[in-house]
Structure 1
Amino acid sequence: MTRQMLIDAVGDILREDGWRGLGVNKIAFRAGVDKKMIYWYFQSYNNLLRTYIKSKDFWIPVFEKFQSEGAELDQELPDFIRSIFTELFNVFYTEPEMQTFIHWQISDSRPVLREISEEREFQGAKIAAMTDPHFKGTGFNFRAVLALILGGVYYVVWHAKMNQTSVCGIDINVEKDRLDLIRSIGQIIDLVWDAAGKEVA
């Protein structure tokens, strides 16, 4: 129970004060426990942060599903990729904590955040590698396309949630624009995938 209270306290502070509000004393105070409990349950402050982020990270269950299914995916590869990025948008749009800790990870150079980012990249590369044969010799770099979609999702959501503003006239706080953006993610993936197929043919 105390362990979960400490994890929850990290999330509470992130939502209310951002990552700059975090600290051993503040987390312990918010959880209502002695700060020694952080070291008892997590061995270090960084390990508490690591545990919290991994408990909230959209990508962890994606990688776990991929590892369990591997090449035996229950859908075609482009459909699988499309479903990942569509769900990423839906989760990122609705989860303030994930919005905050991803922003934290690109704004702070502390080792624990870099470690988590590198692990996410390492696992994601295994999925991206499955798409490489389809694009070999086509002149298309599908990984670059996915990087642009990923960055675009984060950027558009941050604008909508933090500043209540639109990007290129798209305001995802409006349902129509939100659905248009989701549809466009799939269209971009399909268009590039199909174009590469025609290039080989």
Structure 2
Amino acid sequence: MKSREQTESKILEAVASIVECDGFEKLGINTIALKANVYKMLIYRYFGGLEELVARFIMQKDYWANTDTLILNPHSVGDSIKSMFRNQIEQLRTDVTLRRLCRWELSCHNASIDRLRDKREENGCNLIKVVSRLTGCSNSEVASLASILSASISYLALIEDQCPTYNGIALQTDKGWEQIAQGVDMIVDLWIKSIQEGKN
């Protein structure tokens, strides 16, 4: 790995560490430089400044902004969709920094968040178009289903720390989340079945 790539990686790792421990509110050029053990000028040289660095960091962390349409297998669309939502659950549950990012996004407004939302929206719409083409359903139908499922998963993951039980489901356990994942699977299976029955 080249020297610049190593330094950029150290800086981004420092951002992740600070966010995980203290949240986005504690981010600052001095704090990041100290944590990464680099000169402040390198952050400006490689990223342009704090806002650009934060934008780069959150862009690489967001699940839906980085989900590739290639994940959708034309021969098993339903399984591909279920896999996407299970991956969302896994990433939100295991990545403290991502959960902090989601909470931060809900609590403030700035250019970095605008860029993230634009990227997520662009990528999400591309995924919806591909699913629509593969299933023969309208974009609006796919978008409605995707929005309900992804938003539900995000909400439950974000309240997990403060809300141990939701509708009798133990949110702080793997068993509880497997129950939720199976519920998502069931919804997707029923939707795919209704499409197949409509074609017969």
TM category, shorter:
0.7 to 0.9
Q: Within 1, Cα distance between the matches of 2:138 and 2:42? A: 52
2:78 and 2:188 in contact (8 A); partners too: yes
Q: Within 1, Cα distance between the matches of 2:189 and 2:67? A: 20
Q: Within 2, Cα distance between the matches of 1:36 and 1:8? A: 17
1:105 and 1:114 in contact (8 A); partners too: no
Q: Within 1, Cα distance between the matches of 2:157 and 2:119? A: 23
Q: Within 2, Cα distance between the matches of 1:9 and 1:187? A: 40
Q: Within 1, Cα distance between the matches of 2:183 and 2:152? A: 11
For 1:151, the equivalent position in structure 2 comes to 151
Identity of aligned residues (%): 21
Which aligned pairs between 1:4-83 and structure 2 lie closer than 5 A?
4-59=9-64, 61-63=66-68, 66=69, 69=70, 73=73, 75-83=75-83
2:64 and 2:123 in contact (8 A); partners too: no
The unaligned stretches of length 5 or more in structure 1 are: none
TM-score (norm. length: structure 2): 0.84
Q: Within 2, Cα distance between the matches of 1:167 and 1:33? A: 45
Q: Within 1, Cα distance between the matches of 2:172 and 2:164? A: 9
Q: Does 1:171 align with 2:177?
A: no
For 1:102, the equivalent position in structure 2 comes to 102
Which aligned pairs between 1:126-141 and structure 2 lie closer than 5 A?
126-132=126-132, 134-136=136-138, 141=141
Deviation at 1:132, TM superposition (A): 2.8
More displaced stretch, 81-90 vs 24-33: 24-33
The unaligned stretches of length 5 or more in structure 2 are: 1-5
Deviation at 1:157, TM superposition (A): 1.2
Q: Does 1:89 align with 2:89?
A: yes
Deviation at 1:40, TM superposition (A): 1.2
Q: Secondary structure at the match of 2:184?
A: helix
Change (3 A) 1:70 1:79: closer
Deviation at 1:30, TM superposition (A): 2.0
Q: Secondary structure at the match of 1:104?
A: helix
1:99 and 1:158 in contact (8 A); partners too: yes
Q: Within 2, Cα distance between the matches of 1:70 and 1:158? A: 25
1:156 and 1:166 in contact (8 A); partners too: no
Post-superposition CA distance 1:165-195 (Å, at most 9, x none): 2222212322321211111111111112322
Q: Within 1, Cα distance between the matches of 2:20 and 2:180? A: 25
Moved over 4 A (4+): none
Q: Secondary structure at the match of 2:181?
A: helix
Count of residues in Structure 1 that have an aligned counterpart in Structure 2: 193
